[in-house]
A and B are shown apart, each in its own frame.
Chain A
Amino acid sequence: MKNLFKLFSIIILIITSNSNSFAAEKVEYLKTDWSFKGLFGKFDRASLQRGYQVYTEVCASCHSMKYLSYRNLAEPGGPEFSEAQAKAIAASFEVTDGPNSDGEMFTRPGKLSDKFVMPYDNVKAAQAANGGAYPPDMSVLVKARGGGVDYIYSLLQGYEEAPSNVSLDDGVYYNKYMYGNKIRMAAPLSDGLVEYGDGTNATVEQMSKDVTTFLMWSAEPHLESRHQMGFKAIVYLIILTVLVYFSMKRIWSRVESEV
């Protein structure tokens, strides 16, 4: 038994230390309380809804979210807009459909089943409009960056004057959290840029937190059910393990040996 515990603690130690070592550049990211971390972590509904507002009013002009559908906005575990609200959001977008019976493409208001409308038709068009840099798709962006939510949250607030020894080309900005410190995206947020419906003060910090929460949900839409199921599964396994342990002791008591 003692050996087994030792074994498992060594295993966990090795694995976690190994995976941490992948983060090549160590930067201290800004910290904030994320409601979705921890054993019972859940999304802050209001923050998700505000985050969607920031995304759609600010980010969406350049960044696509091609793996999300409008129906996701009304699904449990997400921003949980009402179905009517989600329908209204979808309908506010023009979607290209077709071909119709005449063989022509046409536009119509969006439906719940439509994917998020993309700001550009393709990667080349996105690059052409952004000085050669492709604004990455944001669907899984949080999982595609080593620092995860802390990195995105910090990056949004990391714009500052470039130090005198750094020279920046036209259309390049200085960000202390960006890999290499040079970023092609101008500071996207400024105080009061959006007007929150719930009266929350739209500071850069608040908007960064809201939109990052929204991005976490878009990358892991089933995070809440994962945490809930995980807790049940582990409690179940622990109870079963204890029961099996005592049955094992009982069975092995018939022979002169230890387990």
Chain B
Amino acid sequence: MSDHDYRPKSKVGQWFNDRLPLLTLANHLTDYPTPKNLNYWWTFGGILTFCLITQIVTGLTLAMHYIAHADMAFESVEHIMRDVNYGWLIRYIHANGASMFFLAVYIHIFRSLFYGSYKAPREIIWIIGIIIYLLMMAAAFMGYVLPWGQMSFWGATVITNLFSAIPLVGEGIVTWLWGGYSVDNPTLTRFFTLHYLIPFLILGLVVLHIWALHVPGNNNPVGIDIKKPSKDTVPFHPYIVIKDGFALLMFMIVFAFFVFYAPNILGHADNYIEANPMVTPAHIVPEWYLLPFYAILRSVPDKLLGVVAMLSAILILAVLPWLDTSKIRSAVFRPLYKQFYWILVADVLILGYVGAMPAEGLYLLIARVATAYYFLHFLVILPVLGFKEKTLPVPLSITEPVLGGSPNLAAARNKESKIE
């Protein structure tokens, strides 16, 4: 933070700011020097903040009408849909908002993977991000249980049962999680409590995430360190604010389409059947955003190892800054990594697809190959690539590729030959 010398103009402002430097903070946020070559993949941070706030506001409103009781939850959701003023709107925003949140977070994560934003000095931002992502999954899973439909109940049964794979104490842990000997009312009430709590934990972590970001400043598509402030940067306000706002509006159009015209397309029809412990649905599938991990879980024949594989698939991301040995951040200058990156994207999409399919025959085979490749990418390809790959020359500042039209090779080469 380079703006400690900021002083408010008014006397009152100075008096207040000397006691609580909120105005200094506001000044820092508006002046915050941001690389001017950020592309639209960088707008998803702002979009995610919007998603979180939307979920919290709609969630609070829903909680005023929802009843967390096994006998009344389903009915109270119907009450919200029918009798609460605009209850249908609030619930559909909240339900589809979860999907939009994950859509945005996946783009945000894959942007970071492409441009190497997780590398030094941004490891802490990245790790906080992974914790936020884990909490998001927990919140989404527990939120899906609350309407107490068939998929809620059986999804909760399948996922909580995973803990029984832990040797010796597994069964005890499951009973403890359930608050009884099956998923029932105590499970519902504790899930509701935690579902209410987690968004505020996420909010706190988001503050840390942004704080940690503001220490080194944003990475950028070229992936080089820049001087701040300089002619490579623009102040956050108004440049980035308006650009983020524009992207957010585009995102909201997609969001609105789902809410108003296809509000149930992302959910499962079975969740409109009230939970019934005596009837198991034909296929138990999680929400789309958890499918890749569900595929990894099911691709391992052993229950305990399956759970270990699924958890490792997420936790491996936390050590990514040390698995990726390349000194170059942006994939723009890493021709080989760029190809492996797109293979990884395809691999995760394939995992998502087979996660929705029954775990048998060809689907199972594909899931196993895709799971193996997922780990291969992080554990073998990335570490080796850092040593073997011949990277392209990197420009010395942002201004050149920007003036050259795009962060391309020609501009970089030009500069290099001049130096020589």
List residues of A whose CB falls within 8 A of some B CB.
3-4, 7-8, 11-12, 14-16, 18-19, 21-22, 24, 39, 67, 72, 136, 139-140, 143-146, 148, 179, 219-222, 226-227, 229-231, 233-234, 237-238, 240-241, 244-245, 247-248, 251-252, 255-259
A-B contact pairs, 18 of them (CB 8 A): A4-B247, A4-B250, A18-B356, A22-B356, A67-B75, A144-B270, A179-B282, A221-B81, A222-B82, A222-B88, A230-B256, A231-B260, A234-B253, A238-B253, A248-B242, A248-B243, A251-B239, A252-B243
Contact B356 A21 (CB under 8 A): yes
With the chains together, A12 CA to B258 CA distance in Å?
Answer: 10
Min CB gap A54→B, angstroms: 22
Contact A15 B288 (CB under 8 A): yes
**Using Cβ atoms and an 8 Å threshold, which residues of chain B touch A21?**
353, 356-357
Min CB gap A196→B, angstroms: 27
Pick the interface stretch among B34-42, B122-130, B167-175, B333-341: B34-42
**Using Cβ atoms and an 8 Å threshold, which residues of chain A touch B92?**
226
**Using Cβ atoms and an 8 Å threshold, which residues of chain A touch B393?**
none
Is there a chain A Cβ closer than 8 Å to B273's Cβ? yes
With the chains together, A30 CA to B165 CA distance in Å?
Answer: 46
Contact B273 A244 (CB under 8 A): no
Question: Given A22-B356, A67-B75, is A7 in contact with B242 using a C-beta cutoff of 8 Å?
Answer: no
**Using Cβ atoms and an 8 Å threshold, which residues of chain A touch B88?**
220, 222, 226
Question: Residue of B at shortest CB range from A12?
Answer: B254
Is there a chain A Cβ closer than 8 Å to B203's Cβ? no
Contact B82 A67 (CB under 8 A): yes
Min CB gap A144→B, angstroms: 4
Min CB gap B163→A, angstroms: 26
Min CB gap B130→A, angstroms: 22
List residues of B whose CB falls within 8 A of some A CB.
36-37, 39-41, 75, 78-79, 81-82, 88-89, 92, 99, 103, 107, 234, 238-239, 242-243, 245-247, 249-250, 252-254, 256-257, 259-261, 263-266, 268-270, 272-273, 282-283, 285, 288, 291, 349, 352-353, 356-358, 399, 402-403
Contact B239 A16 (CB under 8 A): no
**Using Cβ atoms and an 8 Å threshold, which residues of chain A touch B266?**
15, 19
Contact A247 B242 (CB under 8 A): yes
Cross-interface CB contact of A257 among B36, B75, B285, B357, cutoff 8 Å: B36
Contact B260 A230 (CB under 8 A): yes
With the chains together, A258 CA to B407 CA distance in Å?
Answer: 12
With the chains together, A241 CA to B247 CA distance in Å?
Answer: 9
The 5 A-B residue pairs whose C-beta atoms are closest, nearest first, are A230-B260, A144-B272, A241-B249, A143-B272, A257-B36
Question: Residue of B at shortest CB range from A20?
Answer: B265
Contact B252 A237 (CB under 8 A): yes
Contact B272 A234 (CB under 8 A): no
Contact A233 B239 (CB under 8 A): no
**Using Cβ atoms and an 8 Å threshold, which residues of chain A touch B357?**
21
Min CB gap B380→A, angstroms: 27
Contact B288 A256 (CB under 8 A): no
Contact A252 B250 (CB under 8 A): no
**Using Cβ atoms and an 8 Å threshold, which residues of chain B touch A226?**
88-89, 92, 260, 263
Question: Given A15-B103, A140-B78, A244-B242, is A227 in contact with B37 using a C-beta cutoff of 8 Å?
Answer: no
With the chains together, A155 CA to B301 CA distance in Å?
Answer: 39
